[in-house]
Chain A
Amino acid sequence: MNKPVISEEKLLWMYETMVKIRVHEERAAELFAENKVPGFVHLYVGEEAVATGVVANLKKEDFISSTHRGHGHYIAKGGDIKASMAELFGKTTGCCKGKGGSMHIVDLSIGELGANGIVGGGIPHAVGAAMGIKLNGLDDVAVAFFGDGASNQQNFHEGINLAAIWKLPVVFVCENNGYQISLPYSKQQIINSVAERGKSYGIPAVSVDGQDVMAVYEVAKEAIERARNGEGPSLIEAKTYRFRGHFEGDPAIYRTKKELEWWKENKDPIIIFKKLLLEKNILSEDDSALIQKKKEEEIEEAVKFAESSPWPKKEDILKDVFSTSTKGVLVWEW
């Protein structure tokens, strides 16, 4: 009997990844509330299926560029959570030696081009990476993750236009979670789907349910294969929702409790996927409990690592911050 294109192993990887992201983010929320994490954190709870379903189609050499809400992308791409947790804590063992924080988690060794505090800032990075891939004659792919808000930025329009003209191996993944901070999508764009923008740049575009990891997986698979085969870029809009505020501490008065509850009850990507895996006998309740426990332990280990790591030294404050060497004098004189 022909069986479909996805192995049980991959399905379980997807489930574990989604749970890992969820546990990580919920723990990060607690740590933020306990004042252990300096700076802003934007959490990915509720959007796990997007990063997971897309990255499930990538290999290590492929690139992703991320956003201010970037922990999920990093974890899905295989980022080391000890390095990211230490970064959140501002410790020297962090992936930016503690000088970047949540919005700068990065690991070039796994093709993670970095989270980005600039809305839409990751888009040109992915396009640039795709250009490099093409010039080097490789069959790798770059994926740019960004939000609905970012799709109003110049970076989006320029990036997508160049990628289309140069037929670059890049996939644009818009995580449309319905809000740009407090501004609902309907007040940002007169269209109802970011996918409608693909047409004006002459590339295929599709809108998909971002809470259904299998739907995201399938759509991303086609787009990524297209890019790999030299057929050029495509745009995916994944309709999703964030279960927490825009940033930790956001009272989120711009949306109703009822709306939030509806999404949590009906569109939790982990619940939806778990139900499918249970039905298909790929996962049991026991397996699921075990995965949950394992992920909690992994995250706890990362937290311990971060807590016990040293702070950066005062004298190193300007080290690794500028691309050209500087004694810092100029900076102080500003």
Chain B
Amino acid sequence: MNEKKHKVCTTVGIIANPESGKDIRRLVSHASVFDNMEKVNIVERILTTLQAFGIRKVLVMPDTFGIVLRAINVIGKNLKIDIDFLPIETLGNWKDTYEATRQMKDKVSAIIVIGGDGTNRIVAKACGDVPIMPLSTGTNNVFPYMMEATIAAEAVAAIVMGFTSKEEGTYKRKRLEIFQEDKLKDIALIDIAVTMHSYIGAKAIWRSELLKEIVVTQCSPYNIGLSSIAGNIKEIRMDENHGFYLEIGDGEMIKAAIAPGVLKEISIKNFRILNLDEKVKLRNIPSLLALDGERELDINSDVYVKITRDGPKVINYQKTLRIAAQRGFFKN
């Protein structure tokens, strides 16, 4: 395919987080370690697949472990893709992901994100309208797909090579926006939990006793994590234009898997649907906010939360590949 002639950008971005999959959940729940060599394998599969479908350029976030670099070394001279690393000094924390997304978003047609809910939350802060393909590295995520990387890369290639248009193959996700004194303070993709933990510590939440309020963009009885508390009362699909708010306190008991293999009985005081753009004031302050399952923000003054449709544009891989197949994507 001649890039110049078509004047379309067929560059794919890759962000692979070396830090995901090793936190305290390995100890307090039954989650397993997601090792980095497995992430290298995933990237190998992605690169060989992208190459097979004619992608010739990939832009990569450098990382402290060298996930993509190692994959390149394994594939060796069979690799025909041009791979550029962004000029970022890696720090080994979330700033790498944020900076890489920011620098890459105008230079690529899609970004493959390898990480968990937390990694995607950072990508979502900077990716604008570039479609993303989120691949899960662990069992306790809601936002990214748990799927085979080869198929994910096929879907990305189908979008980037124009077999399926972005309009057809992607959809906007919802997000949660947190406001303090009318300023956007942070975002979450799936859930915000108000907890009475007094410090951030090891970040994850595996005890339900300290939880007070939960706001979710989507929830279902077949997902795991804090949003499942809401999901076991009512399902909210990602295409529905509302979310859910609930308060924990004296009331009906609900059982929920707040982490892999960790089932808790939680008493629900009240709950309600939260419409898009409707602001809700959090009731328990001072407290800590857990964003997508991780303690992040210490709050001491009034905080409002609202759900918007300004989340990242995510590739619907099933729809994308179904359409692409009809248009000859898999034919030679």
Contacts and interface: CB of A to CB of B under 8 A. Distances in A.
Interface of A: 1-4, 6, 186, 190-193, 195-196, 198-199, 204-208, 212, 214-215, 217-219, 222-223, 226, 234, 237, 276, 279-280
Interface in B273-303: 298
A4 B210 contact: yes
Given A208-B202, A214-B199, A195 B27 contact: no
A137 B268 CA distance: 42
Interface stretch (B17-25, B118-126, B155-163, B181-189): B17-25
20 contacts: A3-B196, A3-B198, A4-B196, A4-B199, A198-B26, A199-B33, A204-B26, A205-B26, A206-B22, A206-B24, A206-B25, A206-B27, A208-B23, A214-B199, A215-B203, A217-B201, A219-B24, A219-B27, A223-B27, A226-B27
A223 B28 CA distance: 8
B35 A212 contact: no
Tell me the interface secondary structure of chain B in the complex.
Answer: loop
How big is chain B's contact interface, by range? 20 to 34
Interface in B55-96: 64-66
Given A214-B202, A223-B27, 16 more contacts: A4-B199, A4-B210, A6-B198, A196-B35, A198-B33, A199-B33, A206-B22, A206-B27, A212-B200, A214-B199, A215-B203, A217-B201, A226-B27, A234-B27, A280-B198, A280-B199
B102 interface: no
Nearest to A5: B207
A219 B36 contact: no
Contacts of B22: 193, 195-196, 205-207, 237
B243 to A, nearest CB: 26
B37 interface: yes
A199 to B, nearest CB: 5
Contacts of A222: 24, 27-28
A3 B203 CA distance: 17
Interface centre among A206, A208, A223 (most CB of B within 10 A): A206
Contact of A191 (B36, B196, B298): B36
B246 to A, nearest CB: 17
B265 interface: no
Contacts of B36: 191-193, 196
A208 B199 contact: no
Nearest to B67: A192
Nearest to B22: A207
Contacts of B37: 190-191, 196
- Which of A6, A219, A279 has the most CB atoms of chain B within a 10 A radius of its CB? A219
Contacts of B26: 195, 198, 204-206
B65 A192 contact: yes
Contacts of A1: 196
Nearest to A190: B37
B299 to A, nearest CB: 12
Contacts of A237: 22
A186 B66 CA distance: 10
Contacts of A234: 27
A212 B33 contact: no
B210 A2 contact: yes
Interface string B1-40: 0000000000000000011001111111000110111000
Contacts of B197: 4
Contacts of A196: 22, 33, 35-37
Contacts of B66: 186
B148 interface: no
A275 to B, nearest CB: 11
Given A2-B196, A2-B209, A215 B202 contact: yes
A214 B201 contact: yes
Most buried by A among B33, B64, B200: B33
Nearest to B34: A196
By CB atoms of chain A within 10 A, which of B196, B200, B201 has the most?
Answer: B201
B308 to A, nearest CB: 30
Nearest to A53: B201
B79 to A, nearest CB: 20
Contact of A218 (B24, B33, B196): B24
Contacts of B18: 192
A218 B210 CA distance: 15
Contacts of A207: 19, 22-23
Nearest to B37: A191
A198 B27 CA distance: 11
Nearest to B92: A239
Interface string B167-210: 00000000000000000000000000000111111110000011
A145 B27 CA distance: 18
Contact of B64 (A2, A192, A217): A192
A197 to B, nearest CB: 9
A234 B25 CA distance: 13
Nearest to B288: A4
B202 A218 contact: yes
A199 B201 contact: no
Contacts of A191: 35-37
A219 B199 CA distance: 13
Q: Which of B28, B32, B209 has the most CB of A within 10 A?
A: B28
A249 to B, nearest CB: 29
Nearest to A217: B201
Contacts of B209: 2
Nearest to B25: A206
B247 to A, nearest CB: 14
Nearest to B204: A218
Contacts of A218: 24, 201-202
State the 6 A-B residue pairs at the shortest beta-carbon distance, nearest first. A192-B65, A218-B202, A207-B22, A214-B201, A218-B201, A196-B35
Contacts of A280: 198-199
Interface in B191-246: 196-203, 209-210
Nearest to A193: B22
Contacts of A204: 26-27
Contacts of B199: 4, 214, 276, 280
